Every structure is written in structure tokens, then in C-alpha cells.
Structure 1
Amino acid sequence: MKILVVCGNGLGSSFIMELNVKKALLELGKEVEVAHTDLASAMAEKADIYIGAGDIIDQLDNGARNIVRIVNMMNVSEIKSKLDPLL
């Protein structure tokens, strides 16, 4: 399984969110591949779950992808609660 963390430029905010996703997964006891990228690259990249802020991640929602919208990328509890049902 692969989770792709997406932000507009694929730099700072997606890297911070990637670290928090990894922390959430550790707390859930799950071992999952996690990577981060920018929106343009994410359009062509294959993942089981795409996660990011609503304004960015909604652009990836094609009806076939598992999309997770995060309100607060620093909130590990929010990330856990939204990922857990998909794992």
C-alpha cells in the first residue's frame, strides 16, 4: 500500500504532512509506504491513498481515487481518524 501526500509545490507543507502521516501510521500500528509530491506530479503518480489539504487534493478527485482531505496538517489525531477506515 502507498500513501501519497500532495501539496501545491511538493516542498515544505507536504514534507511536514508526510512526517505527521508517518507518525499517525506508527500510532495505528500500520506499516505503509508514504511519499510526498506536488499536485502536477500526483496527477500521474499511482497511489492507494492521496492525502492533502482540501483546496489541493480536490483537484485529484476523479471519482476513482481514495482521497483524504485534511483541515489541519499538524493534527495527527485528524490524520489518524481519516486514514484508519481506509487501511
Structure 2
Amino acid sequence: MAKRLKLLTVCGFGVGTSLILKMTIEKVLKGNGIDAEVTNGDVTTASGAGADVIFTSNELYSQLKGNVSVPVIQIDNFMSSDEISEKALPVINKLI
């Protein structure tokens, strides 16, 4: 049985945009039959969150990339299922 992935969406304060991104990712996962836990948080707690993959904005990407040992995926349009599918599914499929 494949392990259940933990995905983390990150924004500056861990409430607004990361929640929108979380909901869009959940929709993409469901549409592709992938079972994963998606949580949202802020940039300061991201490195200790124990996530398998982190999703964030262009502004926070470089800050996170150097501080975590898991893949960090930069998303430009948090409401774009197409962008999330294109960028996230190859990474997620390698991990499951």
C-alpha cells in the first residue's frame, strides 16, 4: 500500500491564500484519485511541518527552497487546477 502523502500549502500568515491553494490542490487530487492529507500554514512553520511536498507562491519560493529538504512547488495562480496538475502531479506520482 502506498503511503499517504502530506502536502503543505504555505503563505505569509498561513490563512488566506494558502487556504485557497489547499482547496484547489484537494480538487486536483480528488480528480486524479490520489489520497493525500493537505494542510495549510505559514512560512515560519513550514520547515518543521513534516510535509512530503510544499506548495507556495513565487514570493516565498526562494525563502523556502533553501530551508527544507522536500520538493517545493511554486504556484503562480492558486485557483488554477491546470497549473497545479501540470506542476504537482509529476512530483506527487514519483512519491507514491
TM-score > 0.5, shorter chain as reference: yes
8 Å contact kept, 1:6–1:57: no
- AA aligned opposite 2:81: V
- % identity of equivalent residues: 31
Q: CA deviation at 1:6?
A: 0.3
1:34 to 25, 35, 38: 38
Aligned to 1:72: 77
The one of 11, 21, 25 aligned to 2:29? 25
Partner Cα distance (2:18, 2:74) in 1: 13
1:18-64: CA deviation from partner (whole Å, max 9, x where unpaired):
00010011111111110000001112211100001111132111273
User: Unpaired segments of 5 or more residues in structure 1?
Assistant: none
Larger Rg: 2
Aligned residues: 87
RMSD: 1.2
Counterpart code for 1:13? T
